[in-house]
Amino acid sequence: MVFVIRILEGPITWLLCVSLNYYEKCAGFESEEECSLHELMIQVRDNTLAILKYKNISDTA
């Protein structure tokens, strides 16, 4: 399911600075350590990937 979402929608994460495949540096910060959301969004990304890893299209029906 992760592969399908990436093909159709792009990044799994909301912030590209935590994306594994579509990484872009945040424009608002000199370093990612300055961002209060960075670590949280890594956790969100990792947990989302863990859930989607074992799902397939038939699970959505």
Backbone angles phi, psi at 11, to 5 degrees: -60, 145
CA separation for the pair 19, 21 (Å, rounded): 6
Could you tell me what percent of the chain has a pLDDT over 90? 38
pLDDT at 29: 84
Annotated domain spans of the chain: 2-60
What is the mean pLDDT, run by run of 10 residues, along the chain of 61 residues?
A: 86 91 88 90 94 83 72
Rounded CA Rg of the chain: 13
Contact 44, 50 (CB under 8 A): no
User: Any idea what DSSP says for residue 28?
Assistant: T
